[in-house]
Structure 1
Amino acid sequence: MKSAQYSDLDREIIVLSAVWDLIGSMVHYAHFEKRHRLEETMLMFKTHECSKLFLIILADFLSLPRSGTFGLSHRSGSGSLAKTYLGNILDVGAKPHFGRDTTLLTSSATSFAEWLDGSVSVDKVWLPSIEREGSITVQRMNYLKICGTASKHGFTRLGDIVRKIQKVLADNGTDINEGQSYLVIPEFQEWFRDHVFMASSTAVAFFFK
């Protein structure tokens, strides 16, 4: 079967449609409390399940289309622009077909990427399964991907997450084995999904605005 050929216009439509669909699935009033005060700056999820679903979809956004899908290319590098849809958005902004001024689009994608590539430090993180209490510093995109993926899949599909948690703890001075890593997953989730992410969810939604 002959493979389909996609033009630059086709790829732009595909990227914008995919991104719009993901953002629309995250940022809406079915997930957040509806408040009408203009001075309100803190978004509140309606339920714990709403926050989990938001994070699961966010983890998809912080991924790349499968290699070769619709002829989309992946950027080289190690930052979030090379690992997420944000790189595809910048490519659209560089050579747009639907309008000339893409300043807001590209600046928003760049700002979000810079935020994701930064780190967060949490003090006195207590992980009872390995009897560890202490600070943990982790890249924002890393913990968001870990928490979103762990919220989506059962533990038998979390081999990659286990290795990522091992590396996070190793980078913070604690070496654990694979079995310990599986035990740490719900404890990591409690700290970084239920507390750190909840505190930063307003910032994430603002970037999508």
Structure 2
Amino acid sequence: MAAPSESPELNEQLRLQMLKFATLQLRDPHMAEDAVQEAMLGAFCYARSFNGRSAYKTWVFAILKHKIADELRKRKRLATVSELSDREDRQFEETLFNQHGRWHKEARPVRWSSPDDNLEDERFWEIFEACLNGLPASQGRVFMMREFIGLESAEICTELALTVSNLNVLLYRARLRLRECLENRWQRQGDATC
């Protein structure tokens, strides 16, 4: 299966999506642009190895993911604790839990209908991406570093100058927000437009 290299519009759309992702992870538009360029050049150079077992976009993003992971492992950039928005997160958690740490009745998780079908549904991934983009930047960044790029906790903590406790709090809050967003935008509304 050939890569869609003959469509400049598709390649530009893909490049913009990759740039958005790389910028979120690297926090430097110039470095992000470099990583995207290297990934796209790698995809072009190794186009013959693309066998069509996955979507072209998935294949190119995998190349980008490795470029970002390599860059993050090389750098020793420090992130300040002031980037963490504790007050906003505490207010968000108070809307979900009571003072005893139990779910408020209206915020309890709902049972998801046929998750296997949802995985195949393209609309689900569009909503997931919108929910991910709605996360506070610090939460979205650590979630993507852990779940998409696949960095270990120690690597993330070193890169962002976080303690393991801070990392776990950010991941916990990101997962809570994603769960709530997916329930509100996907499970409760089904295929209805958000």
Instruction: State the TM-score, normalized to the length of structure 2.
Output: 0.28
Question: Which is richer in helix?
Answer: 2
